Structure 1
Amino acid sequence: MAWRCAGLSWPRGARTAVLAWEGGRVSPLAPGKDLGFRAEGQRRCVGARGNPCPPAAVVSGRATQARCAECARLDRAHSVAADTMADDPRTYRVYLAWFGPGMVKVGITAEERGPARLLEQGAVVFSWLGRGPLMAARRTEELLRSALGVPDRILYADKRAVRAALPEAAERAAEVEELHRRAVGLAGWAESLERIGFEAVDHAGVFGLAGLPAATGVVRELVDGGVVAGRLVAAAGPDLHLRTAGDGLVVLDTRLMTGWALVGSDPGAEVTVPLADMGSAPGSVQDGLF
């Protein structure tokens, strides 16, 4: 029986990620879990905003978003990230997210989502900076980018490259705290945005990064008949770090799974999908902000 993956998510309050499947089922991803699956057929567009793709268009196996051009356009037409929802009445939060030494980004997320967006991005440490209306959060985000030179995106390849060699928790928090201090001291914040005091939230334990070995490869794409199998060592953002039968450590970006029909396989089987060296896999740029 083939299952279709609906993506990886981090439920609010949960200590582990889950893989969601079409139909509503979920599979918890606790470290030590054995995983194995084989892709079948062709990768098909997943549609947009809860609606199926009318032609069920075939999409590239290397794309991190399993949508055809038309469905991608429709999905983005109502996206906060695309600045098409300026009248959104929800409260938003501005945050600083740390992924490794010298790798800090600024972003915003709906307050009702809590830290979900930070978990989805694979942020090892984060701190809130402020809260308020959407456009006030947007203006403050832009202020921090221009005044402090803090980007709003970090390459996923860069995030993966440093996970096995992170500094201690105190050093991680100190880098975020220093940037937070500089950020809240800037003039020009939107008047309707409330500043939030520094508090470092560290996800290294949630992700399972303690003692994480360096990865030997990254899944480039799934292919018809291709197998991915191994024991889960860590899960950070959309990435699963799998100890494979050959004793290598392979990173699977779960966004590559959506749109495929998947069937179970032996967790001890050999990985037979195309692999890339660390840093050269597709999907290196963060997709979307929210």
Structure 2
Amino acid sequence: MAQTARGAQAPKASQAWKCSGLRWAAGGPELKWDGGRGSPLPRGKRVAFEVAEGGGRTCVGARGNACPVRTAVPERSTGARCEECARLDRAHSVAADKIADDPRPYHVYLAWFGPGLLKVGITAEERGSARLLEQGAVCFSWLGLGPLMAARRSEELLRAALRVPDRIPYGEKRAVRSALPGSAEERAAEIAELHGRALALREWPESLHREPYRPVDHVDVFGLAGLPAAVGEVSGLVAGGVVSGEVVAVAGPDLHLATGRGVVVLDTRLMTGWELIPAGSSGGDRGDRGETGGFTVPVREFRREAPGVQEGLF
């Protein structure tokens, strides 16, 4: 469990908590728990929890409703939903392109995650920049504002005319976070160029209001300045496994934790569906043992190429 910051309620040692994911609140990132409680995640905070034995990982349900059969889900799934609940959740998602009558205005945005990693997306105007924080966008700019269907058409236009994707794999985002350009102007340069090209397209939907280029940078919000390169990422939790480390950065759903083996990235979506207890409460303080600093869950180590070693002929 994330040790509780000032003002948050601490769990009892014997109590198992279920994580409902990481949320970006006005005061910063928080781990949310079933029942509505939250644990803020400021940099420097110690995170330490153990996966309860015996229960296994179960489906988190859909649209605020529990899974009726509590189906077991894979340890490495970031969705933590069974096939039926995933289908139900997707059916009510704007991203699934199955909702055409939403009357709310939508923003079209351009987001940058690192050199060459740009995407186009849409989000309801009322959500502000929450969607960009959830995705781990290093910087972004609004591109347009208007009805949902016009926003969707602009997405497709940019994919077809400018070859701008609407998805970037999280693995690619994580790989570049410790080696970003030093200034906000450098980080936003690719967005600036793409923004101008997008607004110049003749096929731009008439009902979509063009937004001026105003870049927003999240490096300080995420804590990415001077971020040490991660040595690996958690590939999945396991019953009895322990996670223990100090928060050095939070970007999107990812916690960058300083551990005994170096910085390890934990995608908090892997925590959902498990019952979690304070580290050491099941017998012995395993959070402080061993060279790995309490990390006893599987970690996929990032490959480090030796200087001057060439992989192949080309």
> Does residue 1:236 correspond to 2:251, yes or no?
yes
- 1:21 corresponds in structure 2 to 33
Deviation at 1:78, TM superposition (A): 1.4
Letter in 1 for 2:123: T
SS, match of residue 43 in structure 2: coil
- Partners of 1:72 and 1:185 in 2: CA distance: 38
- Equivalent of residue 144 in structure 2, options 130, 134, 144: 130
Separation in structure 2 between the aligned mates of residue 186 and residue 236 of structure 1, nearest angstrom: 32
Stretches (4+) displaced over 2 A: 266-269
Deviations 1:100-119 (A, max 9, x none): 01110000011110000000
Q: Which runs of 5+ in 1 are unaligned?
A: 280-290
The residue identity in structure 2 corresponding to 1:241 is H
Could you list the per-position Cα deviations for residues 52-97 of structure 1 after superposition, in whole angstroms to 9, with x for gaps in the alignment?
A: 1111111101000011111111111211111111111111000000
Partner SS state of residue 10, structure 1? strand
Counterparts of 2:23 and 2:51 in 1: how far apart (Å)? 21
| 1:157/1:278 contact within 8 Å kept | no
Structure showing greater radius of gyration is 2
Return the alpha-carbon distance in structure 2 between the equivalents of residues 272 and 204 of structure 1.
30
Amino acid at match of 1:26: G
Distance in 2 (alpha carbons) for counterparts of 1:50 and 1:230? 31
Secondary structure of 2:94's counterpart equals coil
Q: Tell me the SS of whatever aligns to 1:232.
A: strand
Higher RCO, 1 vs 2 (CA within 8 Å, ≥6 residues apart) = 1
Paired letter, 1:48:
A
Cα drift, residue 44 of structure 1? 0.7
Give the partner amino acid of 2:99.
M
Give the counterpart of 2:298 among 252, 258, 274.
274
Q: Distance in 2 between matches of 1:243 and 1:30?
A: 13
Q: TM-score scaled to structure 1, two decimals?
A: 0.93
Give the match for residue 284 of structure 1: none
1:177 is matched with: 192
Match of 2:173 among 153, 159, 167: 159
Alignment-derived partner of residue 310 in structure 2: none
Alignment of 1:87-236 (within 5 A): 87-168=101-182, 169-236=184-251
> SS of 2:269's equivalent?
helix
SS where residue 96 of structure 2 aligns?
coil
User: CA offset at residue 43 of structure 1?
Assistant: 0.4
Q: SS of the counterpart of 1:170?
A: helix
Q: What SS class does the counterpart of residue 250 from structure 1 fall into?
A: strand
Secondary structure of the 1:53 match is coil
Match of 2:93 in 1: 79
The alignment's C-alpha RMSD in Å is 1.1
Write the distance in 1 (CA, Å) between the matches of 2:48 and 2:171. Answer: 24
Question: Structure 1 counterpart of 2:256, which letter?
Answer: H
User: In the aligned structure 1, how far is the partner of 2:134 from the partner of 2:103?
Assistant: 23
Question: CA–CA distance in 1 between the matches of 2:62 and 2:185?
Answer: 42
CA drift of 1:163 comes to 0.3
What SS does structure 2 have at the residue aligned with 1:97? strand
